[in-house]
Every structure is written in C-alpha cells, then in structure tokens.
Chains A and B, each alone.
Chain A
C-alpha cells in the first residue's frame, strides 16, 4: 500500500468546513496533504494553519494583509500570494490533485470553474456554485470528465446511496430536513414582527407567550 498522499487545495481553509477538512487531513497524514490553503481575511488563523500543515502555497484574499502573512510564512519556505485572481491560478497548479471549494458566497464560482477547466476534481462545499450556475458547472465537469464530490451531508448521503448504482435510473430523491427552529409551529408562525436574529431564533417560542 505505497502511494503518495492526495494533494488538496482548500479554498477557504479558515471557515467551518475548511478547519474541519484540516482535522480530517491531520487524522490521515498518509492519505492527504494540504497543498494550498487560502483565506479571505483571517490572517492569524491562516498563518497558524500554514505553520502546522506546511502547504506549498498560501493565498490571502485581502491584499492589505499580504505583508503580514508573507513575513510569517516566507521563513517557512511557503509561497504567499494575494488577491482574487490568485485563487483562480492556484487551483490549476500541477501539484494539486483535488480542490475543496469551501468559500462562502459568490466567490466560490470562479475558482471552481477554473479548477474544472484544469481537469481537477472538486469537492464542493459552496452552495452558490450549483444554485447560481448549476448548468454551466455540470456541463463543464462532463466535458472535462472530472467529478464533483458533494460535501454537505444531504448531498453526500445521496451520493453514497448511488455508489454501485451507476446504470440504475433514480426514481426519486428524498431530501431530509431537520425543519429548522420553527418546525411544528402553527401556520403563519412566527408572527410577522422583528424577531431576534441568529441563534436566538428558537427563543421566539417562549417569547410569543410572554408578550401578550
């Protein structure tokens, strides 16, 4: 079982998916190697991750932070680039075997396209890529003959159910939903006012009774 580790470019390494991907890589050093790490603005964590995982190349999106990241990583012999355009270039590197797109928002689209054009398999954790440009992306992947591996739990589940079923048509996909914090509430609940945002949302259940 001698084979070289899969070299992975993590776009968005300081986010939730990116940090968990690095945990997976750390747990399987014989299987995976972090070849590229990128972050938009969390320079401190990017530097910390790079010191630990020793990628070949690092991209810091925010150009104002370039000097800081360069000063920290140049002594470690890690190449540092900056700017949105660099994201498109690093995914094409010959030393990248797989690109994990864990960027949030629209920013995930362009580097994913560049990766597919360079015939790199993509592990896709960026929703916008398929929501916005699903047709373009899947057509490109077919043309180039590369796979897109879903990273979120629902699509990974479907993907896993389809292993070994390549020639068998799907009749139906059943996508499960936790239902969110308002699941099971009566229709038109929550009432149309201005609830507290974010993680406090479930508290509305109690707030409603207390208010009237």
Chain B
C-alpha cells in the first residue's frame, strides 16, 4: 500500500481523492475547493470565510498530530511532537497545480461535479491502473487514460444505493483491467 500512495501522490490522484473527501466532510461544492501546491508542507490546509479572512493550520508534518486530535477532540493534549520554528523556514511557497500534466486531478474534479457513482468508478479504475503501472504493464501517463476510459464507459448512476456502489466498483475494475491491456 505504501507504493500505491507514492504513485497517487505523484499523479496527484491522492489530492483529487482528498478534494472529494473534503466536499463530503465539510459540505462545500467542487468550485469551493482549490488545490495549491505548497512544497514545504508546513501549512496543512486553509479555510477562507465570507469576510475574506483565511485561517491556516500549520506545523511540522507529523501524522501523529491529526491522529491525536481526532481522538482527543475537542481537547488538545500535551505532546512531545517536534515544534515548528519560523526562522528555519524563511520562505513558504505556493503554486498552481499543473493539471495538464497531472490529468488525474482534473478527472477527480470531473467525477466530483458529476457525482453519483462517478467517484467510485474513478477510485476503482485508479487502483487497477496504479497496480498495472507498478507491475510495469502501463506507463505513468497512461494511468489517467485508463481512469478516463472507465469514467466514460461504466454506466452512470445518479443516485446509487450501497449495492450500486459495489457493482460500479466491480465493473470499473473489470473495464480498467481490459484497458490496461489495450493501452500497451
């Protein structure tokens, strides 16, 4: 699973999946979620309010902090995690993600806007495509091609029930398996 996350980070699919999660967790629309590349990973994300004020949560990257907060909410517990020192990070930089190269992020937005079973199809197709890449059956740039092909072919269901998700997942995996063989 470590390799899967590394590839998903490289294709930005990981970020695309996070955009979809954010929509559901925080009840916003796709157009209200902006992805910004921030190589230092010190700002872990931000929220802008209607008066224009932006709140950012910062710190050194350490998974234990979000884990602990999820367990301790609403309290904050004392920790010995390393502390952030501003003077050691004189510049925090930000740039627009390159969705032309990293088509997966654009595909994730598309799936989110379409809704229904489309994110399920995206996720399943991506898992199969990444696996095929790891097994050197397809190239890096073919990962989004497989995902896009599945999004076009698996029947769209606007209001899926649990069983529809299971079926869409299976169908997307089957088609993605075929697609990974076709593209090479």
Contacts and interface: CB of A to CB of B under 8 A. Distances in A.
B45 A161 contact: yes
Interface stretch (A42-50, A62-70, A189-197): A189-197
A60 interface: no
Nearest to A201: B10
A161 B71 contact: no
Interface in A129-186: 130-138, 147-163, 165, 168-185
B99 to A, nearest CB: 10
Contacts of B141: 188, 190, 192
Given A132-B169, A179-B97, A188-B141, A170 B32 contact: yes
Which residue among B54, B67, B102, B139 has the maximum number of chain A CB atoms within 10 Å of its CB?
B67
Given A155-B45, A161-B47, A173 B73 contact: no
Interface residues of A, number: 83
Interface residues of B, number: 85
Interface in B109-128: 115, 119-120, 122-123, 127
A138 to B, nearest CB: 5
B36 A177 contact: yes
A187 interface: yes
Contacts of A163: 74
Contacts of B100: 187
Nearest to B126: A131
Interface string A27-56: 110011000000000000000000000000
Given A153-B63, A190-B140, A27 B36 contact: no
17 contacts: A32-B71, A130-B24, A133-B165, A135-B24, A153-B61, A156-B44, A165-B49, A174-B34, A175-B33, A175-B45, A176-B94, A179-B39, A184-B39, A197-B7, A197-B134, A198-B3, A198-B6
